[in-house]
Amino acid sequence: MAGTVIKAALFLGIAAFLITSPIEQVTGRWLSFELTDSQAAMFREYRVGAGLGLVAVVILILLVKVAKLKMTRYEVTPDRVEWSRGILDRKVDNLDMFRVIDIKMRRNLLDCILGIGRIELITTDMTDPQFTFEKMRNTRTLYDIIKKASLDADRRTGVVHLE
């Protein structure tokens, strides 16, 4: 999501440049032609329209990404991880704890500032061999809970993971 925010800021900067900069009035040695008043007015309308359209597209993409993130629910129990996702079509999946082979926690600088992170599970599950908890709060606590639950499930079921 941090990459999406950076890209959105870049495109919003381009949109602001399009909306505010009178490009049609620029003359110089690189420009070998002059625009008439009607051409300049038409160019201005298209320039501002393109800038506003770009703002609308960026905001729409951000809203969809945030909605997808907010519509994902996780439930972690000692036996399994269950998650549901989807905006209009809900999908529910689960992963048994004894299938977890490895756990990784990742937090970039922006995640540390915002107090969020991601946890990746490497599993022996056929449908989801790699599962990621996206943008979670209290990632260290969740990491410890999953690690303990995975080890307990391995002991209970007698599973031994060979690498």
Tokens describing residue 78: 């000692």
pLDDT tens sequence across 50-79: 999 999 999 999 998 888 878 888 888 888
Least confident of 23-27, 69-73, 108-112: 23-27
pLDDT confidence bin for 1, thresholds 50/70/90: low
Q: Domain-by-domain residue ranges, the chain?
A: 2-70, 74-157
Handedness of CA 24, 28, 32, 34 (dihedral sign): positive
Residues 6+ apart with CB under 8 A from 21: none
Answering whether pTM is above 0.85, one says: no
CA atoms within 13 A on the CB side of 136: 19
Categorize the per-residue pLDDT at 103 as very low, low, confident or very high, splitting at 50, 70 and 90: very high
The fold of the 74-157 domain, in CATH, is PH-domain like (2.30.29)
Tell me, what's the pLDDT at 159? 74
- Retrieve residue 63's tokens: 């809203």
Tell me the mean pLDDT in the region 134-152.
Answer: 88
Name the residue among 90, 91, 87, 82 with its Cα closest to residue 149. Answer: 82
pLDDT higher than threshold 80 for residue 40: no
Residues of the chain above pLDDT 90, percent: 15
Q: What secondary structure does DSSP assign to 46-62, as a single string? A: HHHHHHHHHHHHHHHHH
User: Residue 96 and residue 83: Cα distance in Å, rounded?
Assistant: 12
Q: At what angle are helices 2-20 and 37-70 packed, to 10 degrees?
A: 160
> 135: number of CA atoms within 13 Å, CB side?
13
Residue-level pLDDT at 22: 80
Both tokens assigned to 136? 């979670």
CA distance 121 to 44: 52
d(CA 112, CA 66): 19
Given a cut of 90, whether residue 120 has pLDDT beyond it is yes
